Amino acid sequence: MKARFNIAVVDAAAYKAMGALETYLQTTFLSKNLKELIKIRASQINGCAYCIHMHTQDAIKYGENPQRIYLLNAWRETNAFSQEERVILAMTEEITLISQNGLTDETYAEAEKFFSQNEIAQIIMAIITINAWNRIGISTRLQPDLNV
């Protein structure tokens, strides 16, 4: 599959706006590892090879256990993730698959047990941002650099 174009070159202003979201996310309570788990899980659901490749490498670079990354697609079936991480992963799935049921009342209530409204807003913004990146990557057919 051939990449179509580089959106950063074709529409630099749009790419800069997406970059601003990433800059914002650096100011949130979310650790680098939590952000990478969100990015990997959403990218798995969306089928964005470019983002899966990039964010699994980043997660390992930030100290994430590769075994947890391997289990991420089956996180409900393992005890490798904390309760807080499980809530974030459930939110990631529900928001990524927004047309199915959206963020359910059950998952939102569970999130409220662990996170403030501001923290929930930050989680939602992290999920929305990676979903936008996935759509850019898939639409432009970005390809992972497997030589890295």
* Averaged pLDDT, 20-33: 96
As for how many domains the chain has, the answer is: 1
Is there a domain that residue 12 lies in?
A: no
| Average pLDDT of the chain, as a whole number | 95
> What's the rounded Cα separation, in Å, for the pair 39 and 23?
15
Q: What is the pLDDT of residue 126?
A: 98
**pLDDT tens per residue across span 57-115:** 999 999 999 999 999 999 999 999 999 999 999 999 999 999 999 999 999 999 999 99
For the entire predicted model, the pTM comes to 0.94
Characterize 24-53 residue by residue with b for buried, 16 or more Cβ atoms within 10 angstroms of its Cβ, and e for exposed: ebeebebeebbbbbbbbbbbbebebbbbbb
**pLDDT tens per residue across span 108-135:** 999 999 999 999 999 999 999 999 999 9
Is there a domain that residue 116 lies in?
A: yes
Is there a domain that residue 19 lies in?
A: no
Is there a domain that residue 102 lies in?
A: yes
**pLDDT surpassing 70 at residue 21:** yes
Is there a domain that residue 103 lies in?
A: yes
Is there a domain that residue 6 lies in?
A: no
Is there a domain that residue 93 lies in?
A: yes
Range of the domain at 127: 31-139
Q: What is the pLDDT of residue 47?
A: 96
CATH of the domain at 92: 1.20.1290.10
